[in-house]
Chain A
Amino acid sequence: MNTTTTALCLSLAMLAAPATAREVTITAAMKPYAGDGAYLALYLTDAQGAYQGTLWVAGPKTKYWKHLSDWYRATGGAPAGIDAITGASVGAGRTLTVSVDLAEALLDAGYQIRLDSAVEEVADRPAEVVAPLTTAGKGQPVAGKGFVRSLQYDF
């Protein structure tokens, strides 16, 4: 169990209403794949996949972040304030847990939590998990198509 818990406030230009924020806990469980620690990017997009903001980046070396390719393309690799929301890479069979404060208005409004992953010398998995951010989806595991066994969020 690899638990990283950080409270943060995602301030989006359109929806900056922290007064009505909700703490959301996102859990990503890794498969027992053969390879080094995975780099992961957790981020928020709209229904069309357009990037809205970064929730968490796992993996210390920024020069490998380009392998988190969808997220990297959308952000240029260094969105503002990224330092506070990065951590260690996540090994095979481990679980990453992140807590974020999200504006109430983001729920059931067509937004998605996405996860890109990359493992050195194995594969890059852009948009490995796409989970609509809805009240109904709360606590429902979404299977990944690469290194992630499942991702779920609770609030």
Chain B
Amino acid sequence: MRRLHSVAGLVFGLVLALLAGTGAILSLDPALERLDARPGGGTVAALAAAVAANHPDVERLERRANGVFVASFATPAGYETVSVDPATGADLKPWAASATLRWIRGLHRSLLLGDAGRAVAGLGAGAMAVLGLSGLALLAAMLGGWRRLGRRVCAGGAGRWHALLGRAALAGLTVSALTGIWMSLASFGLIQDGSAAEPAFPEVAAGAAPAPVGTLAALRLLPVGQLRRLTWPAAGDPADVFGLQTATGAGYVDQATGALLNWQDHAAAARLWEWAYALHTGQGLWWLGLLLGASALAVPVLAGTGGWIWWKRRAARPRIAGTTAMARAGIVILVGSQDGATWGFAATLARALLAQGQPVHLGAMNRAGPMPAARALILLTSTHGDGDPPASAARFLDRLDRMTPVPVAVLGFGDRSFPAFCGFAETVSARLARAGWPALLPLARIDRQSSRDFARWGEDLGRALDLPLALRHRSATPRSVPLQLAARQDFGADIGAPSAVLRFAAPDGAALPRFRAGDLLGVMAPGAEAPRFYSLASGRRDGFAEIAVRRMPGGLCSGYLHGLQPGDRVQAFVRANPGFRAAGGSVPVILVAAGCGVGPMVGILRHLRPGRRSVLYFGIRDPGSDFLYRHETDAMLADGRLGRRVMAFSRGGTPRHVQDRLRENAEELARQIQAGGQVLICGSTAMARGVAAAFAEILRPLDLTVAGLRAEGRYLEDVY
């Protein structure tokens, strides 16, 4: 599915961007023309008579799709068209199709390349349909199922825009694509458009004198809104007739008797074609045209972000010198990866094994096959959506039955805050065990690309393989920028929990990187192998980057940060954390934090719309010592940015934890959850477990679960 989506997108991306861009411009035409339409309640006979009185040479009166009436007539100077008022028949203004729009329409229909271009445009419409359907399937997989398509998108960067815009524009683009295919097939004559079924030209008895057009019976009962086109007979030709097309059919009118001749209702094919035309162009449905045009605007962005995602994924796949074919490799490493991060870990492992002189094969799990020389198979896989396989492992389980068991180790990668953390790795591990594959190591899991956990697993693997393995994996880090400590506030030193709020600014007038409250600041301490991440308590538009850091005993990075004095500089970078953001709209926000976890909560509160219902549950040890952000949250309570603050002090006469306060306020929390409320939690893993247990109790009477809220993006954790 992903390959189909990628190939169609890469082949047709530019064409689709062009078709959609021109389509978006053309979509304005019906709405603009509509502005010129006037109401008219009379009959075609009266209107035709009024127009004929003004223009004795009138040859044609037409009601265009958007309700503008246009009369065409010959003058000594040539041929003229004017729009007329359908109520009075009076001339409004000279009318002509815009040459610019005509050129754009030509570009849209045929790329100005005749039938070949027309065929490309038709194939483009087909590609758009394929991209829409495959994109929908991919989105469903990413969000954890078809019923969760409306769920919030937890992706960053180009992937986020691609998913959000694609979802928003899907309906409009599908309508455009399907009707475009229909019109293309009709233009090549591959399906009927009904144009062949025309009434025959009638034989009329010449001789009788023509009657005034206003008296013709066939036109006297016809409302002007029903008219499509009326053509006058050639002057002085008594055998000629009026041609009449209406919304429902076509026929002729005897110019002497006013009788309707050879009438024929539109064939089903013609009606279908007209619907396809109206749905595609918005002609006659101006509001739909605008909606489709707005959807079309997403296509160039989708093409650009799609190309970027494809390229990034390609670039993420490592090319390592010295690896061996699967059939000759002693150690086979297979990777299941959605976006490429897992490939980086696999490459580190492969390099370490190669350095030990091992014949190693590195490939995708989808390529699994016979491995006659292998003494070990190592599977590294992430999980997609709700326990589904990632892209490069989708076909792995089907291939398993044809393989001969060897000792196998499975390492799952995931994010503990997701319900199906390492779910696919668990599935694979269970299937291997059932099929009798001996376990080289028990199933292991890596949370959020922890290089420390990876190194630890590497030691286990080294022991199992009898090799001295040291896996020093450094995730590709963005280029860091210098930040200068502008101010620090210290808390909790006297109770043995030293914490500091550190506010950094960009030095020397440099610009801050782009970030929002809740994103992560990666800091590289001197001598440290890997960056440590701290949740940001501010957004870029606050003008500073703020973090709250607890000094951990023996902590390399927290010790380094606590040693900084104003004016000192650090090297840091930002990592987006799109899965931890307050929902838009006006639903209540329930913020739960302990200790330094309050940092991102304050950052989120700083950016909430004034008057938004919010409550902060905040657990600390001692109100006299480690009450971080006391003055700022006081001010927020006073000016209404924070609705309520509930404190839990774990020291003193009656020790309380946040989860105790949550239970005490169960009724109020239940009301807030029922009002669509969203819960954000930041703090230690142990605290998060306690909070989840409390919420499980609060939710039970509502027939809700923490997992259910998680799936809806209403229960978000940032734990460490």
Enumerate chain A interface residues (CB-CB to B < 8 A).
Answer: 31, 34-36, 49, 63, 66, 69, 73, 121-127, 145-147
A-B contact pairs, 26 of them (CB 8 A): A31-B78, A34-B96, A34-B97, A34-B99, A35-B97, A35-B102, A36-B102, A49-B237, A63-B189, A63-B195, A69-B243, A73-B201, A121-B97, A121-B102, A122-B97, A123-B60, A123-B72, A123-B79, A123-B81, A124-B60, A124-B231, A145-B78, A145-B79, A146-B78, A146-B79, A147-B79
Q: Complex formed: what's the CA distance from A53 to B528 in Å?
A: 93
Give the residues in chain B near A73, CB-CB below 8 Å. Answer: 201
Q: Is B686 an interface residue (CB 8 A)?
A: no
In chain A, what residue has the closest Cβ to B243? Answer: A69
The answer, yes or no, to whether B234 is at the interface (CB within 8 Å) is yes
Closest to B81 in A: A123
Q: Are B79 and A36 in contact (CB under 8 A)?
A: no
CA distance A126 to B72 in the complex (A): 13
**What is the CA–CA distance of A35 and B189 in the complex, to the nearest angstrom?**
23
B72-107 toward A: CB 8 Å interface, digit per residue (1/0)? 101000110100000000000000110100100010
CB of B198 closer than 8 Å to a CB of A: yes
Does A125 lie within 8 Å of B201, measured CB to CB?
Answer: no
- CB interface residues, B 222-250, toward A, < 8 Å: 231, 234, 237, 243
B196 within 8 A of A: yes
- CA of A66 to CA of B79 in the docked complex: distance in angstroms? 20
Count class of interface residues, chain B: 20 to 34
Q: Which of A31, A123, A126 has the most CB atoms of chain B within a 10 A radius of its CB?
A: A123
A62 to chain B, nearest CB (A): 9
Tell whether, in the assembled complex, residue A66 and residue B198 are in contact, meaning their CB atoms are under 8 Å apart: yes
Does the CB pair B102–A126 fall under 8 Å? no
* A66, closest chain B residue (CB): B198
Within 8 Å CB of B106, what residues of A? 36
Q: Which residues of chain B come closer than 8 Å to A122, judged between CB atoms? A: 81, 97
Instruction: Enumerate chain A residues within 8 angstroms of B79, measured Cβ to Cβ.
Output: 123, 125, 145-147
A54 vs B231: C-alpha distance in the bound complex, in angstroms?
24
A147 to B81, alpha carbons, bound, how many Å?
13
**Given contact pairs A34-B102, A66-B198, a sample of 9 additional A-B residue pairs in the complex whose CB atoms are under 8 Å apart:** A34-B99, A36-B106, A63-B195, A63-B196, A66-B195, A123-B60, A126-B234, A145-B79, A146-B74
Q: Mark B178-191, 1 if CB is under 8 A from A, else 0.
A: 00000000000100
> Could you tell me the distance between the alpha carbons of A123 and B74 in the complex, rounded to whole angstroms?
11
- How distant is the Cα of A63 from the Cα of B191 in the complex, in angstroms? 13
- Which residues from B are CB-within-8-Å of A36? 102, 106
Contacts of B81 in A (CB 8 A): 122-123
- Please give, as numbers and ranges, the residues of chain A lying within 8 Å of B72 by CB-CB distance: 123
By a CB distance below 8 angstroms, the chain A residues around B201 are 73
Q: What is the distance, in angstroms, from B277's C-beta to the closest C-beta of chain A?
A: 13
Chain A residues in 8 Å Cβ range of B193: 63
Chain A residues near B189 (CB-CB < 8 A): 63
Residues of A within 8 A of B96 (CB): 34
Task: Rank and list the top 8 A-B pairs by shortest CB-CB distance, nearest first.
Answer: A73-B201, A146-B79, A34-B99, A63-B195, A145-B74, A121-B97, A123-B72, A34-B96
Interface-central residue, B78, B99, B195, B196, by most chain A CB under 10 Å:
B78
A127 touches which one: B102, B231, B234 (CB < 8 A)?
B234
> Please, how many angstroms separate the alpha-carbon atoms of A121 and B72 in the complex?
12
Closest to A72 in B: B201
Q: How far is the CB of B310 from chain A (nearest CB, A)?
A: 38
A121 CA / B74 CA spacing, docked (Å): 17
Measured between beta carbons, the chain A residues less than 8 angstroms from B60 are 123-124
Q: How far is the CB of A35 from chain B (nearest CB, A)?
A: 7
Q: What's the nearest-Cβ distance from chain A to residue B252, in Å?
A: 11
> How far is A66 from B201 in the complex, measured between Cα atoms in Å?
11
With A and B bound together, what is the CA distance between A127 and B59 in angstroms? 13
In the assembled complex, how far is the CB of residue B519 from the closest CB belonging to chain A, in whole angstroms? 53
A147 CA / B79 CA spacing, docked (Å): 8
Question: What chain A residues lie within 8 Å of B243 (beta carbons)?
Answer: 69
From residue 145 to 191 of chain B, which have CB atoms closer than 8 A to chain A?
A: 189
Could you say which residues of chain B place their CB within 8 Å of the CB of A125?
79
Nearest chain A residue, comparing its CB with the CB of B79: A146
The chain A residue sitting closest to B98, CB to CB, is A34
Whole-angstrom CA separation of A31 from B72 in the bound complex:
17
Contact partners of B196 in chain A: CB under 8 A:
63
Complex Cα distance A146/B79, Å? Answer: 6
Q: How far is the CA of A34 from the CA of B80 in the complex (A)?
A: 12
- List residues of chain A with CB within 8 A of the CB of B97: 34-35, 121-122
How far is it, in angstroms, between the C-alpha of A34 and the C-alpha of B98 when the chains are bound? Answer: 8
A146 and chain B: residue at smallest CB distance: B79
| CB neighbours of B234 from chain A (8 A) | 126-127
How far, in whole Å, are A69 and B60 apart by their CA atoms in the complex? 13
| Distance of A119 from chain B, by nearest CB (Å) | 10
A125 to B72 Cα, complex, angstroms = 11
CA distance A126 to B59 in the complex (A): 10
CA of A146 to CA of B75 in the docked complex: distance in angstroms?
Answer: 10
Least Cβ distance of B303 to chain A in Å? 29
* Minimum CB distance partner of B60 in chain A: A123
Tell me, in angstroms, the Cα distance from A111 to B72 when the chains sit together: 30
Residue of B nearest to A63 (CB): B195
Cβ of A123: which chain B residues have Cβ within 8 Å of it? 60, 72, 79, 81
Inside 8 A of B78's CB, which chain A residues have their CB?
Answer: 31, 145-146
CB distance from A31 to the nearest CB of B (A): 8
Taking the nearest CB of chain B, how far is it from the CB of A127, in angstroms? 7
Could you tell me the distance between the alpha carbons of A121 and B96 in the complex, rounded to whole angstroms?
10
Distance (Å) between the CB of A111 and the closest chain B CB? 18
B578–chain A nearest beta-carbon distance, Å: 48
Return chain B residues, CB-CB under 8 Å to A121: 97, 102
Those of B184-213 within 8 Å (CB) of chain A? 189, 193, 195-196, 198, 201
CA distance A34 to B78 in the complex (A): 13
Residues of chain A lying within 8 A (CB to CB) of residue B74: 145-146
Residue of A nearest to B75 (CB): A145
| Chain A positions within 8 Å of B102 at CB level | 34-36, 121
**Chain B residue contacts of A126, Cβ below 8 A:** 234
Q: Quick one: closest B residue to A147, CB to CB?
A: B79
Quote the shortest CB–CB distance from B635 to chain A (angstroms).
Answer: 65
